[in-house]
Chain A
Amino acid sequence: MLITEKIDDHMARLSLDGRFDFHSHRDFRSAYDAVLARPEIHQIAIDFGRVDYLDSSALGMLLLLREKAEAGNKKVKLTNLTGSVKQVLEIANFGKLFTIE
């Protein structure tokens, strides 16, 4: 999975591309660790526009990210949800945990 990072003022956007599964954990962690380390960032947006598959480890990673972000007073929102990615996130009740756009 490819991750592109873009920063606008207080918001960091991580755009994911490809399969978001267990094998992406190093890339994903290093991407969000870098963002979490920046104190001026208040919000992290994860863009799922190019994600075609999501497994349970991806959900686990998102929950870990949320936990860490909240510890650093940052908010996480999930954007560009479509198709099965959207359905999986809905089934896991992520709408209650994250802001979804």
Chain B
Amino acid sequence: MTSGRHAVLIAGLAMAVALTAWFAPPWARVGAVFVAAILAWYLATRHGVTTSAAVEPASGKTGNDLKTLTDGIVAATEGECLNSRNELERTIGLIRSASDTLSASFNNMHAHIQAQHDFALQVASKLGGNLEDGANLQFSEFIQDTSKTLDSFIDSTVSTSKIAMGLVESMETIDTQVQAVQNILGEIEAISKQTNLLALNAAIEAARAGEAGRGFAVVADEVRSLSMRTNQFSSEIRHHMDEVHGSIDQAHDAILSVASMDMNFALQSKSRLQATMARLEEMNLEMGRAIEHIDKLAEQVNLEVHSATQALQFQDITNRLTGQTARHLESLRVIMAGMNLAVQDTEPRPPARQKPAQSGNA
């Protein structure tokens, strides 16, 4: 009766082991199988002693049951051990490949971040920011050059205007003098007219004097012709002076077009340049801030990649742990094998009694 109760107990235990094996995590499975095995082995040895002491037909039956049970337990345990070992190996493989992939992609990430950082620096320095090397200031240099060109253009415009206005003043002076000459010519013409009249009067007086005035008439004629020549020269000079005056007027107009430049072009260009300069400086500042930000981010990512890579070393620990679990499984298997042997040691008698037991059964 006691061995029957033991059988029920063992069956219950086997069921518990099976359930644990189905649902529980690997370490619990190993524990459960281990506990069950110890119990079964203990019971089996105890039962073996009782069967050898009391030779009863009933005890032969119990031995057979026990053997079947232990066989079942051993087989189940070995099956579980094998499954667990396989699963462990698969787990190790998965972890290894996953951590390898992760390591590789973290390293790639690190490299990409570094490349991105370098590229950003390069772009920034090419655009001519006030960054460390500052070698490529082409854009702002260009603006400064343009600004200088504009300044020198303004300077030359102003100095051209100054020279032109100086010329205008000189020409005004000449024009005034031309007018003075023309006034003098008027005087000369008046004198010549007067002389002409006087000569005419003299001629008339000479005619009245008759023979005595004949010589005087010749002198009067000469004086008249001189006054007429003076008048002719005077009008020639007037003509030339008019031409000078006309030329001065023309030059005046020509100078107007040189000297008189609208300065708004300079204002507009200057303000555009200043706006561009300001925008450029702003851009440089923004660029600097962005680069700084990228720098910080890259540093942070590097730190995170580093800690992730360190965290990936859990693979070693899991390898060690799974190795231990495998060794535990192996010792469990050895224990089970030992238990089986122990149960079989109680067998030498059962084969002799197997027939009476079977006949007892029948």
Tell me the count of chain A residues lying within 8 A, CB to CB, of chain B: 20
A37 to B70, CA, bound (A): 139
Q: Given the known A-B contacts A29-B172, A84-B267, are A55 and B260 also in contact in the complex, defined by CB atoms under 8 Å? A: yes
Contact with B along A46-79 (1 / 0, CB 8 A): 0000000011110111011000000000000000
A17 proximal to B (CB < 8 A)? no
Interface residue SS majority, chain A:
helix
Choose one: B158, B163, B165; the contact of A92 (CB below 8 Å): B158
Q: How far is the CB of A61 from chain B (nearest CB, A)?
A: 5
**A29-B172, A56-B260 are known contacts. Are A92 and B154 too (CB-CB below 8 A)?**
yes
Contact with B along A80-101 (1 / 0, CB 8 A): 0000100110011100000000
CB distance from A64 to the nearest CB of B (A): 5
Residues of B within 8 A of A54 (CB): 263
Give chain B nearest CB distance to A57 CB in angstroms: 4
B309 at the A interface (CB under 8 A): no
User: What chain B residues lie within 8 Å of A29 (beta carbons)?
Assistant: 169, 172
Give, as a whole number of angstroms, the nearest-CB distance from B72 to chain A: 106
Whether the pair B166, A64 counts as a contact (CB closer than 8 A) is yes
Contacts of B270 in A (CB 8 A): 91
Q: Are A63 and B155 in contact (CB under 8 A)?
A: no
In the complex, what residues of A have CB within 8 A of residue B155's CB? 92-93
Let me know if A60 and B266 touch, CB within 8 A: no
B266 to chain A: which residues have CB within 8 Å? 88, 91-92
Contacts of B261 in A (CB 8 A): 55-57
* Least Cβ–Cβ distance between A38 and chain B, in angstroms: 19
Separation of A63 and B19 alpha carbons in the complex (Å): 110
Contacts of B161 in A (CB 8 A): 56-57, 59-60, 63
Q: How far is the CA of A42 from the CA of B241 in the complex (A)?
A: 40
B164-214 at interface with A (beta carbon < 8 Å) = 164-166, 168-169, 172
Chain B residues numbered 225-259 whose CB sits less than 8 Å from any CB in chain A: 256, 259
Verify B259–A57 contact, CB threshold 8 A: yes
B162 within 8 A of A: yes
A57 contacts across to B, CB distance below 8 A: 161, 164-165, 256, 259-261
CA distance A54 to B169 in the complex (A): 19
Answer yes or no: B157 CB below 8 A from chain A CBs.
yes
